[in-house]
């Protein structure tokens, strides 16, 4: 990790004029992608009166990918249950996500009208940051991902979000982040008394139409 991360301004999408926006979704992409990766998905969701914030991860060397420099929310050493984790990188990105949430609050969106979402590495950050955020949030979308720093959740999760709705989804053919690894994270969440809306799909490390429909339903439940 470099001392200072450089973040490009996030992509912003909404289906309404700004005066009708009453909720926000901060949606983080996966390793090696950028904020534009989920633009087509957001357009398919067609959820009214919601501002979608799609940030871009900074460029950094990724250990698991032979030090290749790419967009990443934190360094990655491996994707097994006992792999070393880049705690400093995860916490640095947590602070950045907190700043994006605060920015939405400053624009007039109540914290309980804000969802933190993410896919793969972005989903790991969504879980990590959302469960620790000190103000009540609307929900967390965690897609094809896992819970990082899971041994620290019990002492670091903020009580104000103890009842936060969590949508967690995974492909049964995922060969990047295994279904078993995701279910370990699910068990950790449930053991810490979080209620998880769990979904499995016949897909690999990706997003499918059925999942998009379920995400739309979840967002309408927590925001509309």
Residues that are catalytic: 120, 174, 205
Question: What span, in angstroms and rounded, lies between the C-alpha atoms of 75 and 54?
Answer: 20
**For 193, phi and psi rounded to 5 degrees?**
70, 25
CA dihedral 152, 153, 156, 159 (to 10 degrees): -160
**For 83, phi and psi rounded to 5 degrees?**
-70, 150
Helix, strand, coil fractions of the chain, as percent rounded to 5: 40, 20, 40
Tokens of 93: 């990105």
């Amino acid at each position: 990790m470099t001392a200072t991360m450089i973040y490009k301004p996030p992509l912003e999408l909404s289906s309404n004029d700004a005066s009708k926006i009453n909720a926000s979704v901060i949606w983080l992409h996966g390793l090696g992608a950028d904020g534009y990766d989920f633009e087509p998905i957001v357009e398919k969701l067609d959820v009214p009166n919601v501002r979608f914030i799609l940030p871009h991860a900074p460029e950094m060397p990724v250990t698991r990918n032979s030090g290749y420099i790419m967009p990443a929310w934190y360094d990655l050493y491996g994707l097994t249950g006992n792999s070393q984790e880049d705690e400093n990188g995860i916490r640095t990105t947590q602070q950045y996500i907190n700043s994006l949430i605060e920015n939405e609050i400053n624009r007039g969106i109540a914290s309980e009208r804000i969802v933190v979402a993410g896919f793969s590495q972005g989903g790991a950050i969504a879980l990590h940051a959302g469960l620790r955020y000190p103000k009540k949030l609307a929900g967390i979308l965690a897609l094809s991902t896992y819970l990082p720093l899971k041994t620290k959740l019990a002492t670091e999760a903020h009580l104000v979000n103890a009842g936060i709705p969590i949508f967690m989804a995974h492909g049964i053919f995922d060969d990047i982040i295994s279904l078993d690894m995701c279910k370990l994270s699910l068990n950790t969440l449930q053991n810490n008394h979080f209620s998880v809306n769990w979904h499995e799909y016949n897909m690999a490390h990706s997003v499918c139409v059925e999942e998009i429909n379920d995400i739309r339903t979840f967002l309408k439940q927590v925001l509309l």
